[in-house]
Amino acid sequence: MRIIASLLINSVSFYIVSRILHGFQFDNFWSLILAAVLLGIANATIKPFLLFISLPIDIVTFGLFVVILNGIVLEFVAAFDFGFKISSFWDAMIGSVLLSLFSMVITALLFPKRRHA
């Protein structure tokens, strides 16, 4: 159930970002869903390896290099050419920040944390 919710949240976030950034383009609904699935797979498999390799740079930049890594992973997903296109690397970096923000907000709205008093 959590995987399906995550997929829907990422899909909605992709849609919102595609409406804000003109460099983010989807051909149709299925390319949007496939982008969300592939980004989830890339974040689970490729991103941990990239984070490990870039650990010294992450330490020096106080973690800001992770934004660049997110843009790289997003460009990697768009490189599969299935109807999801990113115009430039800057669009990928801005899009990755927006995707993170929108996913975080949507998740917080749908699944609020309960406080035990």
Residue type, 26: F
Q: How confident is the model at residue 117 (pLDDT cuts 50, 70, 90)?
A: low
Would you state the pLDDT for residue 1? 76
Average pLDDT of span 16-45: 92
Average pLDDT, the chain: 91
Chain-centroid distance, C-alpha 51: 15
Instruction: State the pTM of this model.
Output: 0.88
pLDDT in tens, 62-116: 999 999 999 999 999 999 988 999 999 999 999 999 999 999 999 999 888 877 6
- Residue 68 one-letter amino acid: I
Q: Which tens digits make up the pLDDT trace of 60-74?
A: 999 999 999 999 999
Burial of 23 (0-12, 13-18, 19+ CB in 10 A): middle
Burial state string for 40-68 with b = 16 or more CB within 10 A and e = fewer than 16: eebeeeebeebeeebeeebeeeeeebbeb
